[in-house]
Amino acid sequence: MAEVPEHLLKRAQEARERAEAQQGGGGGAAPESSEAASSEPAGEGDAGGPKIPDHLLDRSKSARDQAAAGGGAQAAAAVATAPMPAGPAQPEPTGPGGGTQRLLTVVKSGSIQDVKATPTDKVHVWPHLLVVEFVAALIFTAFTLIFSIFVNAPLLELANFNETPNPSKAPWYFLGLQELLTMFHPMVAGVTIPGIALFLLILAPYVDRNPNKKPEDRKFAISLMTIHLMFWAILVLIGSFFRGPGFNFVFPWEVGLFFDL
């Protein structure tokens, strides 16, 4: 139900007080006061204002008739309790078919609609991530086991301690370390440089706390990982294709390849 405006409540209260005062002083002036009270809402508004609705005019006319017939204070009270328009009434909008339309109230969408919060892309590590990783590990382990049953590993012949291969190279994933051994002291090449690289990779998530997942907005993380991969890839390529007998630097297109896949 719509709330009654404050100015209408004040006018109704004043009319009731006038009616009570006239009732206490005598019923002789009641018809005039009731007629004056009822004639106020029945008139036109400001200049050029719209016409007062017919049902209000009918109520005012009925109150005047009752006052003239000797209704006295009861008629005045009935007129006083009737809602009085404040100022010129606004014309009611009409639809395409001529019907009237009313605007009850304007309510914010948040109070009547179930507005859901913006979904986030964060989930718990357990069980969402670890379960998927565990299942993936089981699948790859089963595939490797079944594959090894039907396909033998490409192993070389037994080692002959009387004939050492030249050059003697480590597996490809260790050739980066073997390449570093040709440039630095074993302590530096085998411990210091790999330890610093791993330490920087561990610190990377704490230094770069940007939550954005777009590559163009993660320049620090992408640059750090690119430098790490390129540094290691270049060392592996040099140790694989550019190291010949005695682990000396050679050009593969001149001397040949000294690398077995």
Task: Report the C-alpha gap between 208 and 45 in whole angstroms.
Answer: 71
Residue entry with tokens 């005012």: 60
Distance of alpha carbon 167 from alpha carbon 157, whole angstroms: 17
Q: What is the pLDDT of residue 116?
A: 62
Helix axes 219-241, 193-207, angle to 10 degrees: 160
- Structure-token pair, residue 128: 């969402």
User: How far lies 160's CA from each of 113, 156, 163, 235, in Å?
Assistant: 81, 11, 5, 29
Mean pLDDT by 10 residues, the chain (261 residues): 73 88 64 45 46 77 78 52 55 58 58 60 81 95 94 82 86 90 92 92 88 87 91 92 91 86 59
Q: Is the pTM of this model over 0.85?
A: no
What CA dihedral angle connects 226, 232, 236 and 242, to 10 degrees? 80
